[in-house]
Amino acid sequence: MSESTNLDLSNLDIANLAQGLLENFKNVENIMTDFSKTYEQLELDPFNLKELYTEWFTTAIQNPQKLAQVNVEFWQNAMHLYQRSAMGFLGIDAEPVIQEPRSDRRFHHEDWAKEPVFKCIKQSYLLVSQWMRNLVADVEGLDAHTAEKVKFFTERYLDAMSPTNFAATNPAVLQKIIETKGGSLVHGLKNMLQDLEDGRGQLKIRMTDTEAFELGKNVAVTPGKVVFQNRMFQLIQYTPTTEKVFRRPLLVVPPWINKFYIMDLQPKNSMLRWFVEQGHTVFVISWINPDERYSDIGFDTYLEEGVLVATDVVEQITGENEFNAIGYCLGGTLLSTTLAYMKKKGDKRIRSATYFTTMIDFSEPGELGVFIDEEQISSLEERMNKEGFLEGSSMAGAFNMMRANDLIWSFYINNYLLGNDPRPFDLLYWNSDSTRMPAKMHSWYLRNMYLNNRLCKAELTVADTPIDLTTVDVPTCFVSAIEDHIAPWKSTYAGAQLFSGPVRFILGGSGHIAGIINPPEGGKYDYRVTDELVSNPDEWAVGADKHPGSWWPEWQRWIAPMSGEMVAARKPGSGKFKVLEEAPGSYVKARSGAGSAASLTKTTAEKTASKSSAQKAIQTADKAAISEKAWTIKALDTSQAADDLTAINGIGPKLAAVLKDKGIASYAALAAKSAEEIKSLLLSEGAGYSRYDTSSWPEQAKSRIKK
């Protein structure tokens, strides 16, 4: 090892370390025993990899010449590695047989390049990886979809087997073990136990300190008000920061698969705040986080009771019958469908549309395509039909797999092998705040969009209305990101060519999130833009001029002439739609895995809103006096909470929820228990709760009561 790693081993407290490891391994044993009993029916091969690789092997052996060639090449390289490694152990420098790409950040520790043993380990891994990639590449006779799946899951296997993911072969981990005398392993094990416990037997690695953030306090803080809600969404109107605003308001339709506040993380990078500062009257849809009650909710409901109702509300609040709209990702797919629906109905209120990383033509969905086939969708439908929804973590897990080294293994190493606590990071907090999807809607979306690509073919009927995107002729702006792995830019480019009106295409830098959330002050990346779209996206990219920095000002220059003259700023709640609550609202605060998202009060207004006519819904909502919160969601009403137990030092939101389930929901209830009784209650939930120090909680609670 390097000098920085070669510490004094004699100072290791072996006895204490062994005792700590023994105690924690007992905890692991208990948890895994509970896991095996509780999850005996767990599907351990949800992607049916056994059959997948059987099909690959059966096809591959039909061409033994290729297999032989790949194997011979591997053994030749292995012999070169053996020779050069031997030279390295003798102190003779030798050129590496194989090098990792510059973009590979796993091997940044200096020992991977300096120490012969780690150089040999790294190159052995890289050679095996190269060999396996060659084996699964270009297998003659294997259909394209199966071939892509084999390549994808082979890469995920190689990611998992990286030597950086094992304590004994990661120099940074070994260094930390020596420095901490084994304490890093103990703490890493505790982190793993906590994640197993939080995942109810499944290892859900924390990417960030989720208790470091609170919606409305240090994320999603742009001032605004909830001015409307129904069973599908809350509508937020943001408070103006300018005396004058554009006449045409701006309606933002976010995806239902994620929460809207990716556009409002911090003031410095808040897109919504920036829109307001440019003089737009900004309205944002905040979708409900659905539970089993929403199992029969379909895509048409998101259109009728979602975008159409929001359109009606914006019109009534502002008095304007023409406005601009933005759709982000799947929200853009919904917006484009809504525009085709409105065109068929003669509704011309949305006068321009902007699409962020939006796919409309799904013929080339990128790596997501490996999850889309009849077998996998049917399996997913079977799971969804049992619960009534798809848990948000399932979709988040698929996205994370696509960037496993960055979104899985880096945190595995940091939290477990190095024993570090997750660091606070607003973007990762949002990423972990996933949403559920109703079974009916998600099944329909996967089949009609991804599997059969019917939207771009004008083969869809939504809400009894044929959808033809070629009839949409409003000015359109597409914004995509060149490294986007969720909505590949060439796929979004293909969709942009479907509309009959003028289309501007902007291609920014980076990926699905950073390419969009790129404020001008950061000075990051660059973008290409034209108003002329040629058929070939590569030719377009070569011919489009490149501009430095954020694309936001470019979009503002495009949208401003279509936003009308300036008028007096509109304050939320100044009309008949009164303020229901402060932004970001209560719907966005419902977290998946925390029980039911909604317990709906069946009012006259709500029952009427479930009808097919969005106009009837808004009229009934007016009559029902929305200002009195006729549409409510009891499960999200925090006003009924007795006391905020998180004010007690050592109690976070998750722990407060556990205590509440145990009957301790107030300071008085906490003060009435002894520290030992509280600890006993926690231990009944799982051995992982042994780490909490409850000794001061009763006294803290008593002091809170006195205050």
Residue closest to 476 by CA, chosen among 498, 457, 454, 453: 498
The pTM assigned to this predicted structure is 0.76
Tell me the pLDDT tens digit for each residue of 563-594. 999 999 999 998 889 999 999 999 999 887 55
Write a three-state SS string for 263-285. Answer: HCCCHHHCHHHHHHHCCCCEEEE
Grade residue 460 by pLDDT with cuts at 50, 70 and 90.
very high
- Cα dist from 148 to 136, 151, 154, 363, 370, whole Å: 9, 5, 10, 14, 7
Provide mean pLDDT across the span 53-80: 92
Residues involved in catalysis: 329
pLDDT in tens, 384-422: 988 899 887 777 777 788 888 888 899 999 999 999 999
∠ Cα 361 363 365 (to 5°): 90
Dig out the tokens for 26 from the structure. Answer: 């007992």
Mean pLDDT, the chain, whole residue set: 85
According to DSSP, residue 448 is labeled I
Give the C-alpha distances (Å, rounded to integers) separating 268 from 222, 552, 597: 11, 14, 31
Which percentage of the chain shows pLDDT scores above 70?
85
- The pLDDT of residue 636 is 32
Measured CA to CA, the distance from residue 475 to residue 503 in angstroms comes to 6
Q: What are phi and psi of 145, to 5 degrees?
A: -65, -45
Compute the chain's Rg from CA coordinates: 28
- Quote the pLDDT of residue 27: 53
Three-class SS state of 40: coil
For the chain, what percent of residues have pLDDT higher than 90?
A: 60
Q: Which amino acid is at 154?
A: T
pLDDT band at 606 (very low <50, low <70, confident <90, very high): very low
Query: Residue by residue, what is the 3-state secondary structure of 322-389?
Result: CEEEEEECHHHHHHHHHHHHHHHHCCCCEEEEEEECCCCCCCCCHHHHHHCCHHHHHHHHHHHHHHCE
Is residue 205 within 8 Å of residue 412, measured between CB atoms?
A: yes
Who has greater pLDDT, 25 or 322? 322
Residue of 559 and 686 predicted with greater confidence:
559
Contacts of 592 (CB under 8 A, 6+ apart): 289, 391, 392, 393, 433, 434, 435, 436
Kindly provide the b/e burial profile for residues 392-414, where b requires at least 16 CB atoms within 10 angstroms of the residue's own CB.
bbbbbbebbbbebbebbbbbbbb
Q: Report pLDDT digits (tens) over 195-248.
A: 887 777 677 889 999 889 999 999 999 999 999 999 999 999 999 999 999 999
- The amino acid sitting at 275 is F
Domains and CATH numbers, the chain: 9-198 (no CATH), 224-368+454-628 (3.40.50.1820), 642-706 (1.10.150)
SS3 253: strand
Quote the longest CA-to-CA distance of the chain. Answer: 87
Q: CB of 469 within 8 A of CB of 498?
A: yes
Tokens 């990639």: give the residue. 133
The one-letter amino acid at 385: N
Average pLDDT in the 180-197 region?
A: 86
Cis peptide before 584 (omega within 30 of 0): yes
